[in-house]
């Protein structure tokens, strides 16, 4: 039995109110809403990016293509829609950690990462990560060793960035599907390590 005394969050209530108004006015049907939600839940999103990362970890030839031309490589897996933008894939290594930001707005590779998180679009993240990336990463709980270089990449309308995280230690026996389960959206932005 559900607890009907617990109210939905303010955001959920606002979404329901907007959806009701649009539906009442005839601008948006429930079928359209369901199609849009399905698109963002199953067609684009971090699961797509996780599949790209897992394939790169398992297939050196694919990884080479991905690092050379990210947009064409992800199209091989059926993920497209970068609106003419170049997808540049940044590989995290033992000596370099990459992190992505869009200082002007929130340019973001939707087909492989889905909807951008709220913090990615926030002014504090966008302004601080370029000045103090190590400090911002620490706030995410990500401690990068002092000797490791941190590179901050600024996305824009023409170029989108996607981080290829380092493969976790002790994951050699896992297949692509199991590896994909380890990959997080934040690791593909560079704010977390696996």
Q: Which residues are annotated as a binding site for Fe(3+)?
A: 102, 105-107
Q: Which residues are annotated as a binding site?
A: 102, 105-107
DSSP H or E segment with residue 131? helix 123-131
- Give the angle subtended at the CA of 10 by the CAs of 23 and 33, to the nearest 5°: 30
Q: Which of 9, 58, 95, 107 is catalytic?
A: 107
Q: How far apart (Å, rounded) are the C-alpha atoms in residues 89 and 165? A: 10
| Cα distances (Å, whole numbers) of residue 172 to 66, 175, 178, 192 | 21, 8, 11, 21
Q: Which of 105, 122, 127, 171 is catalytic?
A: 105
In terms of Cβ atoms closer than 10 Å to its own Cβ (0-12, 13-18, 19+), residue 119 is: middle
* Both structure tokens of 61: 């030839």
Q: Which of 9, 20, 23, 106 is catalytic?
A: 106
Tell me, yes or no, if 107 is annotated catalytic.
yes
Burial 39-54 (b: 16+ CB within 10 A, else e): eeeeebbbbbbbbbbb
Among candidates 110, 55, 119, which has minimal Cα distance to 85? 110
Tell me, yes or no, if 106 is annotated catalytic.
yes
Q: How far apart (Å, rounded) are the C-alpha atoms in residues 41 and 7? A: 24
Question: Hey, which residues are catalytic here?
Answer: 102, 105-107
């Amino acid at each position: 039995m559900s607890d009907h005394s617990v109210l939905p969050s303010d955001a959920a209530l606002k979404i329901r109110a907007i959806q009701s108004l649009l539906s009442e006015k005839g601008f948006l049907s429930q079928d359209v809403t369901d199609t849009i939600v399905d698109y963002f839940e199953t067609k684009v999103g971090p699961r797509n990016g996780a599949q790209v990362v897992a394939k790169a970890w398992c297939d050196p030839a694919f990884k080479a293509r991905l690092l050379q031309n990210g947009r064409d490589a992800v199209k091989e897996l059926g993920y497209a829609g970068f609106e003419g933008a170049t997808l540049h894939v940044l590989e995290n290594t033992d000596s370099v950690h990459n992190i992505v930001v869009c200082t002007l707005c929130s340019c973001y590779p939707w087909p492989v990462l889905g909807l951008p998180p709220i913090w990615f679009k926030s002014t504090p993240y966008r302004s601080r990560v370029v000045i103090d990336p190590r400090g911002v990463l620490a706030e995410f709980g990500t401690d990068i060793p002092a000797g490791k270089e941190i590179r901050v990449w600024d996305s824009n309308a023409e170029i989108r960035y996607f981080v290829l995280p380092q493969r976790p230690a002790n994951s050699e026996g896992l297949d692509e599907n199991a590896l994909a389960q380890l990959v997080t959206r934040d690791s593909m932005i560079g704010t977390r390590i696996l």
